[in-house]
Amino acid sequence: MIITTTPFDSLLILKPRVFYDSRGYFFESFNLNTLKAHGLNYEFVQDNQSHSKYGVLRGLHFQKGEHAQSKLVRVLSGKILDVVVDLRIDSPTYLEHFSIELSSENFLQLLVPRGFAHGFVVLSETADVLYKCDNFYNVSSESGLVYNDPKLRIDWKLQASELIVNQKDLEYDLL
């Protein structure tokens, strides 16, 4: 597993070693000992999976307080633009965003620490996304940011007319 840093403290890109042969491929998508060897101590307790069609934008979501979640995000099929916003007040990248294309072809994973809002938009016909969480979902701690907040200036790579956004995600307050 190759672990690459980003300009955001503790936000990491993971790339597994993929073994190809005549049957297809094999790779280890998660190994707790590998993370620990890199000084990363996560105990993932919940997996979430979504299936979405082209243009679906999910996010920007986060859990507040003691229910905050770290996430390990990967794509099982298709391609997404994965976006995070740093909500850690003491961080030098506070309210800045980071985006990366994750796909079933590039095998990249994004390790998102607690303190980030997270979202993605589907760039392929469909996409299946799986992410591990290190804390259980708690409905009363659920919150989010409006995906098109002008202060964030996120380029979602699609035209606004192509986006399919849940009504609840449109009702979050602006920064």
**pLDDT value of position 38:** 86
Q: Is residue 20 part of a domain?
A: no
Domain that holds residue 104: 44-170
Residue 15 lies in a domain: no
In this prediction, residues 9-25 reach a mean pLDDT of 95
Does a structural domain hold residue 24? no
Question: In this model, does residue 79 exceed pLDDT 90?
Answer: yes
Instruction: Give CA–CA dist 124/66, Å, rounded.
Output: 35
- Tokens at 51, concatenated: 């299936």
Measured CA to CA in angstroms, residue 147 lies from 14, 62, 136, 156 at distances of 25, 13, 24, 9
User: The domain that contains 58 carries what CATH number?
Assistant: 2.60.120.10
How many folded domains does the chain comprise? 1
For residue 39, name the pLDDT band (cuts at 50, 70, 90): confident
List the one residue out of 123, 107, 164, 128 whose CA is nearest residue 48. 128
Residue numbers annotated as active site: 61, 131
- C-alpha dihedral over 52, 130, 72, 98, to 10 degrees? -10
pLDDT tens digits, residue range 124-151?
Answer: 999 999 999 999 999 999 999 999 999 9
Kind and range of the H or E run holding 36: helix 32-37
pTM value? 0.94
Read off the pLDDT band of 103 (50, 70, 90).
very high
In a domain, 102, yes or no: yes
Q: Is 2 among the domain residues?
A: no
> Is 162 part of a structural domain of the chain?
yes
Percent of the chain having pLDDT more than 70? 100
Radius of gyration of the CA atoms of the chain, in A: 16
Does residue 16 form part of some domain? no
